[in-house]
Amino acid sequence: MAKQTRNKGLGGAKSRTQGKAFNPGNASTNPDRKTASNAPGFMRSKNTINRLNMYSQKLKKADLNKRKIQPTGPARIAPDRRWFGNTRVLSQQKLQKFREEIGQSVNDPFQVVLKSSKLPMSLLTEGQNESDQPRGKAARKNLLAVEPFDKTFGSAKTRKRPRLSTGSMEEMANKASRMAEEYDPSKDKSSEENRVLR
């Protein structure tokens, strides 16, 4: 007699995986696990599981090298006619007029040039000896042209007189002694004794 073989998967009790091509596990780290629609609120969502799995993953060295080396193709500038045309072009007459007006306002101590950093101030000194010209802030703020050094600090200096109520030292000493005699500490609000009593 021939031996009979039983096919376990076809009849009798159903196996766990019968009828499914792929059985996702119920592990808490599996984003594809089955969750009931009325699942409790403490169960992780698919997005949360994916995020937590991302934290535990490690990059391979090949991936790191790919991230470091970013291939850049040949860069091209989009054609535009503004980049090839003349910008801010001046005629010689306008340039000469600009030099005269700015030169007058820069040298005049009673006039102020607003936004001088945006003006082409190098056009004023063009053609002159560049080694003699001051550079940077000294070119903009030429204080010695307004008031020379010897008139400020030398023996010929001119200073404003202080406003004094007395004309001499003796008058000042007499006034100080008179004020000391007239001083009454009980009327002085800023004295330490009156501050302690308050």
Q: Are 44 and 28 in contact (CB under 8 A)?
A: yes
Q: Is 71 exposed, middle or buried (0-12, 13-18, 19+ CB in 10 A)?
A: exposed
Chain mean pLDDT for the chain:
75
Query: pLDDT at residue 37 above 70?
Result: yes
Q: Are 183 and 176 in contact, with CB atoms under 8 Å apart?
A: no
Say what the pLDDT of residue 72 is. 73
Residue 120 sits at the vertex; the CA angle it makes with 106 and 135, to the nearest 5 degrees, is 65
Mean pLDDT of 160-179: 85
Among 86-95, 133-142, 152-161, which is the least confidently predicted range? 133-142
Question: pLDDT at residue 170 above 80?
Answer: yes
**What is the rounded average pLDDT of the residues 132-142?**
60
d(CA 53, CA 30): 9
Which pLDDT belongs to residue 197? 57
What is the reported pLDDT for 27? 86
Q: Quick one: pLDDT at residue 102?
A: 80
Q: What is the pLDDT of residues 66-106, one digit of tens each?
A: 777 776 777 777 888 777 777 777 788 888 888 888 878 87
Write down the domain spans for the chain.
Answer: 92-152
| Token duo for residue 183 | 């001083």
Q: What is the per-residue pLDDT for 161?
A: 66
Percentage of the chain beyond pLDDT 90 is: 10
Which DSSP state fits 168? S
Give the pLDDT score at 14: 55
The span from the CA of 52 to the CA of 30, in Å, is 11
Q: What confidence tier does 16 reach under pLDDT thresholds 50, 70, 90?
A: low
CA 113 distance to own-chain centroid: 27
